[in-house]
Structure 1
Amino acid sequence: MNKISILAGVAVVSCIGVAALVFWPTRDSVSETAEFTAPGLEPMTIEAARAEFWRLTPALLLVVYDAFGETEEDAIYDTLSSVTHGDALEYLYLERVGAMAGGGLEEADQTIHEIKLLDTQVGRDGANLAIDASWQVIGTVGHAEHLHVRGNTYSAELAVSPVDGAWRITDFDLLEVNRDTAGETFLAPETN
């Protein structure tokens, strides 16, 4: 083999490598017709998710609240990882485990009755949705023999992206929590 053949072979391999880097699909280059699952919803394309963010956002948040109702670390993580990914998964997991270390709920005794979106806007960057959301969570939290009704309001900037075939919250920046409408206390119903 002569030097010219070797140099030609190296040049061809180098061109293929550069072309692979330039044309290799990234996470943002998702097909416009690809559909991704979300809890309790039909699979959605990127554009359908943008158009129906008012359904997608509460569906994802409801699972986050389900995870926060768990008391075992594995269950918290597994539930969160079904609807979050990356930075959002780490942040929310550490928030819940930190609450447990600080004397959080010892039993899974919270019930979410409704998640209602308030002032919310959505933008799109490729396959990623940027959701500037405010929502109210209405539910009950039990302590010993009584229940507290809660109507807390939250504001956060969320990034929602398709990951492994499903819509997931990939970034979560909590901006504000308002507990002014926290509710009232009443006796829990007797159980058998």
Structure 2
Amino acid sequence: MKTKPVLFGAAVVAVVAIASVVFVQSRDRVSETDSFTAPGLEPLTIEQARAEFWRLTPALLLVVYDAFGQTDEDTIYDTLASVTHGDALEYLYLERIGAMAGGGLEEADQTIHEIKLLTTQVARDGARLAIDASWQVIGTVGHAEHLHVRGNTYSADLSVAPVDGAWRITDFELLDVNRDAAGETFLAPDADG
């Protein structure tokens, strides 16, 4: 008699699991003609995003760097959530909050001037784009009374997919950071005059 409730419970769990997979898969299906928004770009279909990943990638990364320049936790999260999702959102949010806990960027003291893709490869898997990218971020970082021009180079494996009507980074694996091109130091402009 005791095996019937166990078997019944296992059957219910299996049915619920299958139903949730079917529901999630059908909800995430998109057609080739669906288009999705991206910051600063016209909405892009999956194929347009694949063809123009060299524009889409920096557009998404620029918003990530904007979030990293913020100091309010809610603003950081909301800004990241506008262009990331899932594992990428968690990873990048924790990276930024970790930098704040370590004493980094207590004030909004960075300005990004350009994100330049150096090398990229893209592969399409359904609606998801797997992007192997390296890029250089050129900007200024302030420290007390002087500014540094930075030209740091990064490489990462990114997954970009449509989520809730917009292109978002859904996976982010940082592979390398090169800070050798640190740039020059110059005095900050006088705030009084």
Residue aligning to 2:162: 162
Partner of 1:90: helix, strand, or coil? helix
Once the 2 structures are TM-superposed, how far is the Cα of residue 21 of structure 1 from its aligned partner?
4.2
Pick closer, same or farther for the CA change 1:169–1:21 going to 2, 3 Å. closer
Once the 2 structures are TM-superposed, how far is the Cα of residue 162 of structure 1 from its aligned partner?
0.1
- Per-residue CA deviations over 1:67-90 (Å, capped at 9, x if unaligned) read 000001101000000000000000
Residue aligning to 2:77: 77
Give the ranges of 4+ consecutive aligned residues of structure 1 lying more than 4 Å apart after TM superposition.
Answer: none
- Runs of 5+ consecutive residues of structure 1 not aligned to the other structure: 1-16
Letter in 2 for 1:110: Q
Partner of 1:25: helix, strand, or coil? helix
The alignment status of 1:43 with 2:46, answered yes or no, reads no
Pick closer, same or farther for the CA change 1:21–1:95 going to 2, 3 Å. closer
Residue aligning to 1:179: 179
Once the 2 structures are TM-superposed, how far is the Cα of residue 92 of structure 1 from its aligned partner?
0.1
How well do the aligned residues superpose, as a CA RMSD in angstroms? 1.8
Residue aligning to 1:92: 92
| Aligned residue pair count | 174
- Runs of 5+ consecutive residues of structure 2 not aligned to the other structure: 1-17
Aligned-pair identity (%): 82
Once the 2 structures are TM-superposed, how far is the Cα of residue 26 of structure 1 from its aligned partner?
4.9
Equivalent residue runs for 1:45-60 within 5 Å:
45-60=45-60
- Per-residue CA deviations over 1:19-53 (Å, capped at 9, x if unaligned) read x949x6252x3110000000000000000000000
TM-score, scaled relative to structure 2:
0.86
Once the 2 structures are TM-superposed, how far is the Cα of residue 110 of structure 1 from its aligned partner?
0.4
The alignment status of 1:111 with 2:129, answered yes or no, reads no
Pick closer, same or farther for the CA change 1:21–1:154 going to 2, 3 Å. closer
Residue aligning to 1:188: 188
- Per-residue CA deviations over 1:60-114 (Å, capped at 9, x if unaligned) read 0000000000001101000000000000000000000000000111110100000
Residue aligning to 2:145: 145
Residue aligning to 1:128: 128
Partner of 2:74: helix, strand, or coil? helix
Distance 1:33 1:83 in 2: 21
Partner of 1:120: helix, strand, or coil? strand
- Per-residue CA deviations over 1:121-140 (Å, capped at 9, x if unaligned) read 00000000000000000000
Residue aligning to 2:30: 30
Letter in 1 for 2:35: E
